[in-house]
Amino acid sequence: MDVKRLIWRGAIAAALGLAPLVTTARAQDIYVPLLTYRTGPFANSGIPIANGMHDYLIMLNERDGGIGGVKLNIEECETGYDTKKGVECWEAVKGKNPAVVNPYSTGITLQLIPKAAVDKVPILSMAYGLSASAVGEKFPWIFNPPATYWDGLSIVFKYIGEKEGGLEKLKGKTIGFIFLESGYGREPLPLLHQFAKEYGFTVKEYSVAAKEMQDQSGQWLAVRRDRPAWMIMWGWGAMNPTAVKRASENGYPMDRFIGIWWSGSDDDARAGGQAAKGYLSLNINGLGTDYPALQDIKKYVVDKGKSQVEKDKFGEAFYNRGVYNSVIVAEAIRNAQKVTGKKVVIGEDVRRGLESLRISEAQWKELGLPGFASPITNLSCADHNGHHAAYVQQWDGTKWVKVSDWITPMKDKVRPLLEEAADDYVKKNTGWPKRSEACDKST
Amino acid sequence: MLYREAGQFKTSYLADQAIFPIRQDRIGMAVIIAGAYLLTLTQNDFLLNAMMIPFLIFTLAAIGLNLLTGYTGLLSLGTGAFMGVGAYACYKLTSLFPDVNVLVWVVASGFFAALVGVIFGVPSLRIKGFYLAIATLAAQFFLEWCFIRVPWLYNYNVSGAIEVPTRTLFGIPVTGPTATAQTRYLIVLTIVAVMTWLASNLVHGRIGRMWMAVRDMDIAAELIGIRPLPTKLLAFAISSFYCGVSGALMVFLWYGGAEATVFNINQSFNVLFMIIIGGLGSLIGSYLGAALIFILPIVLRFVPPRLGLDIQAATVEHVTFMIVGALIIFFLIVEPHGLARLWQIAKQKLRVWPFPY
């Protein structure tokens, strides 16, 4: 058995020997770590986003030689949507001067928020994470453009109001809310209950725990009994396709079932097949491949075999979501280079770049993505979100179709709640640091 | 040759009953402890934050479960939930009484976990084995449900998660984002070392013998005067105490915040696998098991980039899964009694080396 003991000793020695080598990085690159998940129960949502994020940045490297002449060093860290591994990834990347970290999980974001200010790394949680982190005075290192979950819910209600002929028509009706039992799914609840009070409808909550997200028969049986006028979904991963399938099986009218932008991937709706026709979801980015930038991705990355995307999934809703995320990262880096005058920017610079980020309609066009997303015009030191518009898309049986204009959220309703939630967060976390970061005026 | 006890004479019962009767063991132990404390000098945050702190915390949970499953023979699937009780208790206590030092609450939260453990341990008098596992499974689901559905437990936070505030000890932050990895490691190491020492004294003394008697044959144990119910409940209480402290450490000194899903059934299984692979009824086994299950995958993840191989992060993850799985099977085939038994055999061989008989 001596041999085995030696193996064991060797393993320990390897562990101790390898670990100090983990944090080394090249100084002349801009390091962009991507926390992604291509494994685990949420991989179906994670893979297209990971591909989109990765491919756009690689395309910039291939086509333009990086940003401002500096190459991007892109590295994926697999989280499996697991908080533990997400925090581990943070520890692994934070020493390498990352430009920005995208956790791509609300749970991981919640863990990282307090660490960001200490480690001086900005977090971009694009349209997810803690809604209250939109308040820049309290959360100088966290950014969640283009819209918060609460904005999303208000957009859903604007759309419902449009269809019902006024939100006051909701009085006495029932609205069902089916959500993943997690920080993410619970986020919109306060605003939902406020709306219920305001417009006089009843809310039925159907929570789906992660372990039953591929079943959901109980929840949809209850939906059948309650017959809500509208169903709103905050789902993720395997929960989405299951919910769409169950809804169609239970004969719920699909055109009254509307998901947040994270419940609107092609795979989510495809699972329901033709029966899912009519299913609605919000979206914050353009669909399809008819954008010059996406054609460049195809030319420089996909066709050269540098991408993991399957050919027929290129340009799907979530792939483009990943592209959108990378556009914000890239433009923040470009803006940081402009603001600081440095070429190789690190976290502290990119934080300033994000705070004064502007992507006007003309700039979207310049980027090769005309009309791809709502122009980013409202970011400021106080507002790290901007409350930008989203639109509603509908599944036609084979693909998503845009069915509404860009709808702006009810900022007047959302913002006071955000401020309140941010105050509450700071109050509960005694010793929360006061903002000491200076403010750059946007140009 | 070096590892031989010839010439070491014991002149008192005390010396004979020592935990480490052999001088070489004592020296080895001192070296390990000194080395562990010397690690605080490292500036490598990743080593401390992502490897050592979690490893020690999982070890503590594994020791807790080992006291129950390994020493008393009561199978439990509620470890994750008991850890959660400790974490939520600590969170409530420190938000209700912010002026009391958080480390007091970390230890005190163990008592809440112990209380809950005793309640769910009551059926253990009547049922054993798989049946008890199902009863503890009920604890797991019930408590997890509480963590989600009782908003009072997480102070009505919108996100449903608990956030760890900054707390200090002698003016140095020990919890919250500003606490350095070194400080936190030092605290976790000290707590885990002291609690291991206590556990070792427990299992070598009267209580440990009672537990083992119940494990080996409860009817015989009853006949020689051991009352089964108090013994089993004591095992549940102390085991849950350990799990509770480890849960509180996990949230306060490692994660810095947590959602209820952290304490789900997977966590229970994880700890159970640690003690099965490490060795049931062995404290060193708890350490070895936690190292194999927790540290090995992390190390494996860093092997391909070290070797200069450009492999996708997801592929590495899949390969890691496969290697760890294969290793678990390999170790269990080679030694069904776990790594601790391998360690014991190795020591035995060393004693007679180079002239085995």
A244 & A153 share domain: yes
Residues of chain B contacting residue A425, judged by C-beta atoms under 8 Å apart: 157, 163
Angle A198-A204-A210 from CA coordinates, rounded to 5°: 125
Dist. CA A347–CA A351, nearest whole Å:
6
Min Cα distance A10 → chain B (Å) is 12
CA distance to partner chain B, nearest, from residue A316 (Å): 21
Alpha carbons B332 and A14: distance in angstroms, whole number: 22
**Where residue B307 sits, what CATH number does that domain have?**
1.10.3470
- Is the preceding omega at residue B336 within 30 degrees of 0, hence cis? no
Closest B-chain CA to A77: B313
Burial B285-294 (b: 16+ CB within 10 A, else e): bbbbbbbbbb
Nearest CA in chain A to B47: A19
Whether residues B29 and B50 fall in one domain: no
**Helix, strand, or coil (residue A228):** coil
Residues 6+ apart with CB under 8 A from B59: B192, B196, B286, B287, B290
**3-class DSSP state of B353:** coil
Q: Is B135 inside any structural domain?
A: yes
Same domain, A383 and A294: yes
Residue A33 resides in a domain = yes
Q: How many CB atoms lie within 10 A of CB B99?
A: 6
B24 near A CB under 8 A: no
Same structural domain for residues B224 and B289?
yes
**A79 and A223 co-located in one domain:** no
Scan for tokens 């350095």, then name that residue.
Answer: B180
Same domain? For B226 and B308 the reply is: yes
Q: Do A185 and A242 reside in the same domain of the chain? A: yes
Of all residues in chain A, what percent are helix, strand and coil, respectively (each to 5)? 50, 15, 35
Rounded-to-integer distance, Cα A244 and Cα B149, Å: 26
The reply to whether A223 and A293 lie within a common domain is: no
**Do B30 and B101 have their domain in common?**
no
Kindly state whether residues B238 and B284 are assigned to the same domain: yes
B314 contacts in chain A (CB < 8 Å): 36-39, 76, 78
Number of domains within chain B: 2
Residues B21 and B156 in one domain: no
- Give the end-to-end CA distance of chain A in Å, rounded to a whole number: 70
Which residue in A24, A44, A111, A207 has the most chain B C-beta atoms within 10 A of its own C-beta, making it the best mutation to test that interface? A111
Residues A326 and A338 in one domain: yes
Which residues have CB under 8 Å from A443's CB, separation 6+? A338, A356, A358
Check: CB of residue A32 under 8 Å from CB of residue B307: no
In this prediction, residue A282 carries a pLDDT of 93
Say if the Cβ atoms of B176 and A91 lie within 8 Å: no
The H or E element that residue B242 is part of is: helix B228-249
pLDDT at residue A442, rounded to an integer: 55
Closest CA to A140 of A160, A164, A166, A120: A120
* Cα gap B208→A142, rounded to integer Å: 51
Q: How far apart are CA B219 and CA B203, in angstroms?
A: 20
Helix axes B339-352, A2-18, angle to 10 degrees: 120
Chain A residues close to B184, C-beta within 8 Å: none
Q: Kindly determine whether residue B342 and residue A110, on different chains, have CB atoms separated by under 8 Å.
A: no
Strands A174-180 and A230-234: parallel
Q: Is residue A61 part of a domain?
A: yes
Which of B163, B291, B298 is opposite residue A428, by nearest beta carbon? B163
Cβ-based contacts of A428 with chain B (< 8 Å): 95, 155, 157, 163, 165
Q: Which residue range forms the structural domain that includes residue B191?
A: 42-352
DSSP letter at A187 equals: T
pLDDT of res. A84 = 83
CB of B342 within 8 Å of a chain A CB? The answer is yes
CB atoms closer than 10 angstroms to residue A205: 15
Report the pLDDT value the prediction gives residue A8, as an integer from 0 to 100. Answer: 56
Q: Do B346 and A4 touch (CB under 8 A)?
A: yes
**Interfacial B residues in 300-329 facing A (CB < 8 Å):** 302-303, 306, 312-314, 316-318
B233 domain-assigned: yes
Pair (B31, B85) in one structural domain: no
Does residue B357 lie in a domain region? Answer: no
Q: Give residue A25's pLDDT.
A: 47
Of B159, B173, B306, the CB nearest to A21: B306
* Phi, psi for residue A3 in degrees, rounded to 5: -60, -45
Question: Would you tell me how many other CB atoms lie within 10 Å of the CB of residue A99?
Answer: 29
CA distance B343 to B349: 10
Residues A275 and A402 in one domain: yes
CB contact under 8 A, B255 and A111: yes
State the total domains in chain A.
Answer: 2
pLDDT at residue A421, as a whole number:
87
Residues A128 and A262 in one domain: no
Of residues A81, A79, A78, A73, the one with CA closest to residue A100: A73
Kindly state whether residues A143 and A32 are assigned to the same domain.
yes
Q: Residues of B with CB below 8 A from A207's CB?
A: 148
Q: Is residue A438 situated within a structural domain?
A: no
Candidates A76, A88, A107; nearest CB to B259: A107
Backbone angles phi, psi at A223, to 5 degrees: -60, -40
CATH of the domain at A292: 3.40.50.2300
Are A291 and A253 contained in the same domain?
no
**DSSP-derived secondary structure for A245-295:** HHHHHTT--GGGEEE-GGG--HHHHHTTGGGGTT-EEEESS--SS-SHHHH
Residues B125 and B161 in one domain: yes
Judge whether B133 is closer than 8 Å to chain A, CB to CB: no
Kind of pairing, strands A280-283 and A257-259? parallel
| Cα–Cα distance for residue pair A74/A53, rounded to 1 Å | 10
Q: Name residue, tokens 């495809």.
A: A270
Dump the DSSP string for B60-129: HHHHHHIIIIIIS----S-HHHHHHHHHHHHHHHHHHSTTS-HHHHHHHHHHHHHHHHHHHHGGGGT--H
A443 in a structural domain = no
Position A439 in a domain:
no
Residue A373 CB contacts under 8 Å (≥ 6 apart), including other chains: A146, A284, A285, A286, A324, A327, A359, A364, A388
pLDDT of residue B23: 83
What pLDDT, in 10s, does the model give residues A378-424?
Answer: 888 888 988 999 999 999 888 899 999 999 999 888 888 888 888 88
* Distance in angstroms (rounded) separating the CA atoms of residues A76 and A432: 31
Q: Which domain holds residue A299?
A: 26-147+287-388
Residues in chain B: 357
Q: Is B299 on the interface with A (CB under 8 A)?
A: yes
What is the full per-residue pLDDT of chain B (357 aa) written as tens digits?
677 777 788 888 888 877 787 888 888 889 999 999 988 888 888 888 888 999 999 999 999 999 999 999 999 999 999 999 999 999 999 988 888 888 999 999 999 999 999 999 888 888 888 888 888 999 999 998 898 888 898 888 777 788 888 888 888 888 877 788 888 999 999 999 999 999 999 999 999 999 999 999 989 999 999 999 999 999 999 999 999 999 999 999 888 888 888 888 989 998 998 998 898 889 999 999 999 888 888 888 777 777 777 777 778 888 888 888 888 888 888 888 888 888 888 888 887 877 776
CB within 8 A of A40, min separation 6: which ones? Answer: A46, A80, A81, A82
Contact between A72 and A342 under an 8 Å Cβ cutoff? The reply is no
Put simply, the answer to whether B158 touches A187 (Cβ < 8 Å) is yes
Residues B160, B33, single domain; the answer is no
Q: Using the structure block, give the residue that is written with the tokens 């549940």.
A: B236
Do B162 and B260 belong together in one domain?
A: yes
Residue type, position B351, single letter: R
B159, B296, B316: residue with CB nearest A110: B159
Residues A307, A233 share a domain:
no
Residues 246-285 of B with CB under 8 A from A: 255-259, 261-262, 264-265
CA distance A286 to chain B (A): 27
B35 lies in the same domain as B118: no
0.90 surpassed by pTM? no
Asked if B51's CB is within 8 angstroms of A19's CB, the reply is yes
3 state SS for A357-393: CCECHHHHHHCCCCCCCCCECCCCCCECCCCCCEEEE
Please tell me the total number of residues recorded for chain A in this structure: 443
pLDDT, one tens digit for every residue, chain A (443 residues):
455 555 555 555 555 544 444 444 456 889 999 999 998 888 888 999 999 999 999 999 999 988 988 999 998 888 988 888 888 899 889 888 899 999 988 888 988 888 898 889 999 999 888 888 889 888 999 998 889 999 999 999 999 999 888 888 888 999 999 999 887 888 888 899 999 999 999 999 999 988 888 889 999 999 999 999 999 999 988 899 999 999 988 889 999 999 999 998 888 888 777 888 899 999 999 888 899 999 999 999 989 888 888 888 888 889 999 999 999 999 999 999 998 888 899 888 999 989 888 899 999 999 999 989 999 888 888 889 889 999 999 998 888 999 999 999 998 888 888 888 888 888 877 778 888 888 876 55
**Same-domain status, A235 and A271:** yes
Residues B23, B79 within the same domain: no
Q: Do B166 and A132 touch (CB under 8 A)?
A: no
**Residue A36: what residue type?**
T
Buried b (16+ CB within 10 A) or exposed e, A368-382: bbeebbbbbebbbbe
A377 in any annotated domain: yes
Is B232 among the domain residues?
yes
* Nearest CB to A22 within list B166, B302, B349: B302
Task: Test B256 with A429 for CB contact under 8 angstroms.
Answer: no
